[in-house]
Amino acid sequence: MIPIKDKEGIARMREVCAIAATVLDSLKPLVRPGVTTMDLEEAGRAEIARLGARSACYGYQHGSRRYPAHTCISVNEEVVHGIPSFKRVLREGDIVSLDIVLEYNGYIGDNAVTVPVAAVAPAIEKLLRVTREALGIGVRAAQVGNRIGDISSAVQAHVEGNGFSVVRDMVGHGVGVAMHEPPEIPNFGKRGSGDKIRPGMTLAIEPMVNLGGYATLTLPDGWTVVSADRSPSAHFEHTVLTTEKGPEILTIPGLVPARTA
Ligand code: MF3
Ligand code: CO
């Protein structure tokens, strides 16, 4: 069963998502050559604390491991769940995926973006553009009366039509009182398949797109997912509320006034 948020739940989702978007937005201008991914983690941790929220990633348990940072920062061939490090220095031409998942007042908001470090190669610029567009196209497909597979197939068609591949080992998801709620939202699939979209669903739509093949593997650190062929990978994500009037993106900075803790 896909959870349907009531008025109260929707109000809280709006709030946490606005905070998650504010944190993500604050990190983007810090991305430049010479900065380490731990610098971004430190800035993210401070901004999360300033806004009175909590990272849903820090201490997140997967098997016997707990995620050790407040942000996920994935560089180049890293798809998702990169662990910030003092040793990872950003260089011109890199791309960096920033993924921020926060809890505030018992609700969770999830968003991600991939940003270039200074100038990047034209093929990588296209990778970022197509992945960002795929997110927009996926969001637009999240209409009441459609099915989850309509989101999946729309994303897949745009990505593959541009010569890239969609990661299949990880999927988008419902989000709310838990980081991962039903439904799963693959970035590949058939139109007309899956659950019906009803009003009051909060969905994390998140195309993960590889320049090369779709296969991925997890590094020995137990978290970092990389493309198997080590080709660059991009990730854009919004949390979206489904309504009778159409999908509403909740993870836009400035939707709700920021409070200082
Ligand atoms: N957005 C990521 C996800 O949905 C966040 C994971 S937090 C981590 O899987 F702890 F697993 F890194
Ligand atoms: Co997510």
The verdict on the CB of residue 72 being under 6 Å from ligand 1 is yes
What torsion, rounded to 10 degrees, do the Cα atoms 223, 172, 226, 125 define?
-140
| C-alpha distances out from residue 208 to 8, 54, 80, 205, 243, Å | 31, 25, 8, 10, 25
* Per-residue pLDDT tens over the stretch 34-85: 999 999 999 999 999 999 999 999 999 999 999 999 999 999 999 999 999 9
Classify residue 184 as exposed, middle or buried by CB count within 10 Å of its CB (0-12, 13-18, 19+): middle
The verdict on the CB of residue 67 being under 6 Å from ligand 1 is yes
The verdict on the CB of residue 236 being under 6 Å from ligand 1 is no
- Ligand 2 centre from 246 Cα, in Å? 21
Class level of CATH domain 7-254: alpha beta
- Whether residue 9 has pLDDT greater than 90: yes
In this structure, which amino acid lies at residue 24? L
* Closest ligand relative to 205 C-alpha: 2
Pocket test for ligand 1, best of 23, 78, 80, 184 (most atoms within 8 A of CB): 80
In the chain, the percentage of residues whose pLDDT exceeds 90 is: 97
Give domain limits for the chain: 7-254
* Per-residue pLDDT tens over the stretch 11-41: 999 999 999 999 999 999 999 999 999 999 9
Residues composing the chain? 261
CA 173, 228, 77, 59 dihedral sign is positive
The verdict on the CB of residue 57 being under 6 Å from ligand 1 is yes
pLDDT recorded at residue 2: 98
- 67 three-class SS: coil
Q: Which element (helix H / strand E) includes 77?
A: none
pLDDT recorded at residue 258: 62
* CB distance 161 to 216 below 8 Å: no
Q: What is the pTM of this model?
A: 0.97
pLDDT band at 103 (very low <50, low <70, confident <90, very high): very high
- Whether residue 261 has pLDDT greater than 80: no
Residues 214 and 208: their CA atoms lie apart, in Å, by 9
* Closest ligand relative to 102 C-alpha: 1
User: CA nearest 94: which of 72, 61, 127?
Assistant: 127
- 210 three-class SS: strand
Mean pLDDT of the region 159-165: 98
> Is the peptide bond between 3 and the residue preceding it cis, with omega within 30 degrees of 0?
no
